[in-house]
Amino acid sequence: MKYDLVIKNAQLVDENVNIFGSIGIKDSKIAAIADTKNTLDASRVIDAEGRTIIPGVFDPHCHLGVNYDYDEDMRTEMAAAARGGITTAFLYIRNKEPSYIPFYKDRRTRGEANSIIDFGLHFGIQREEHIHEIPTIAKETGVQSFKLYFGYEPDNPIGIIPANDGWVYATMREVAKLPRGVVSVHCENTSIARWVKEELLETGRTDLAAYSESRPVLCEIETIKRMIFLASKTGARLQVVHTTAGQGADLAAAARAEGIDVQIETCPHYLVRTAYDKDIGVEAKISPPLRDNEQKEWLWRGMKNGRIFSLGSDHVPFFPKKSESVWTEKPGVVSFPWELALMLNHGVHERGLPLQRLVQLNSANPARRFGIYPNKGSLNVGTDADIVLVDLDLEKEVVHEGKGTCIYSGMKLRGWPVLTISRGEVIFENNQVNESLYGRGRCLIFPGMDK
């Protein structure tokens, strides 16, 4: 067989495979994995020169079209994702109209017209009608993943409509009936946070650490416990997103031992930054907030011991921040281009995180959670050829030139993606994204859906 593309002399690593050899791609699929004894013929052959191939990063958590135009974000930010080795990204998106069906059709069409990588959608519950519509949403769109938000006061600057326990319970009951349904929850006790915030406002502090202290980690832990309880009563699959509390991973592990399906996601910024870092200020406001070094290292233990299941960037490109008061600033940063490099440097190199474990966290596990594995997140023959060539020894400095706020600028990182392939097409090479391929991305739906 003659393949469309072969990458040879590479270390091939996914959660199950770790061999030196070649990978052959034909008709957008991984068609062969060969050891050094076998030669694969192809129209194009790339010599990896000993570098490492891993599955494309599956980022299950981003927000696009919030401040900037959705079409524009789907072009610029998905290109930034390709630079970072991300080949699939799922968007948490919100709609305040009574129905999600027209919204889905609009966002799918516009997304596919602009994105260079494949993408999927989670829907935010923003009114009671959305809960009642869940069975129809699943049938008509294939979307089976829904998010509810605590931690936001009614007058929050992003315009999120916060949930209550009734919404969560009702949503979990409906989603538990779906074959691959997942309920994601932003876990923070809003009432406690508001009380503590009022106390800190009286001190006159407006610094980043004051924001973190106004939303103490106990707020997150309390809500995680409450959501686990509700999941146990409804049988829903619970996804605790952007976790900052190290104890959250331990609570989830204990719940899983009792048969409750709960998984923990964290983000690169909680693993790399703290609210007390001297070189960042109020521009580093994130929701939930950056924590202290104790929580950061606790999360790393969860990364290594299997209690944290996935990584999500929580990438959100807001308009430039004013960097005035932390109380009025919008929360959110961008991470797409550096998500993988940050984990290679701070995890694999500095903390000895096994590369196969990282692949589980940033590819296999999120793809599995949202029903797309092994077609995404693996190097299995017959699956989509979504792969990244990584130079584990390449050292570069983080330079931010796009939209949104970057809190990593100037960091020197070791280990970078140098080639990104999506469904067999090279979309990032020689430090350039192939702009002629904008609009080739597909909106992913659950297996068996033909909408």
- 75 CB burial (10 A radius; 0-12, 13-18, 19+): buried
**Tell me, what amino acid is at 138?**
A
Residue 187: Cβ within 10 Å count = 28
The predicted structure's pLDDT at residue 80: 98
Q: Are 337 and 407 in contact (CB under 8 A)?
A: no
- CA-closest candidate to residue 391, choices 51, 46, 86: 51
Q: Contact, 53 vs 85, CB < 8 A? A: no
Instruction: Report CA-CA distances (Å) from 171 to 109, 165, 229, 257.
Output: 27, 10, 14, 24
Q: What are the CB-based long-range contacts (under 8 Å, 24+) for 190-199? A: 190/150, 190/151, 190/152, 190/153, 190/162, 190/219, 192/216, 192/218, 192/219, 192/222, 193/151, 193/219, 194/153, 197/327
Position 449 scores a pLDDT of: 43
The reported pLDDT for the residue numbered 447 is 47
- Whether 405 and 318 have beta carbons less than 8 Å apart is answered as yes
Average pLDDT, consecutive stretches of 10 residues, N- to C-terminus, the chain (451 residues): 97 97 98 91 97 98 97 98 98 97 97 98 98 97 97 90 97 97 97 95 95 97 98 98 98 98 98 98 97 98 98 96 86 98 98 98 98 97 98 98 97 98 98 98 70 37
Three-state secondary structure call for residue 422: strand
DSSP label at residue 210: H
β-bridge mates for residue 419, sequence order: 389, 429
DSSP annotation of 16: S
Q: What structural domains does the chain harbor?
A: 2-52+384-435 (2.30.40.10), 56-369 (3.20.20.140)
Kindly report each contact of residues 223-228 with a partner whose C-beta sits within 8 Å and lies 24 or more positions away, as own/partner: 223/150, 223/151, 223/185, 223/187, 223/188, 223/189, 224/187, 224/248, 224/251, 224/252, 225/251, 226/165, 227/168, 227/185, 227/187, 227/262, 228/252, 228/255, 228/260, 228/262
Helices (H), 10-158: 70-83, 101-112, 128-132, 134-141
Predicted TM-score (pTM) of this structure? 0.97
Task: Assign 61 to helix, strand or coil.
Answer: strand
Q: Is the dihedral of CA 208, 210, 211, 215 positive or negative?
A: positive
- Detail the DSSP E strand segments found in 278-386: 310-311
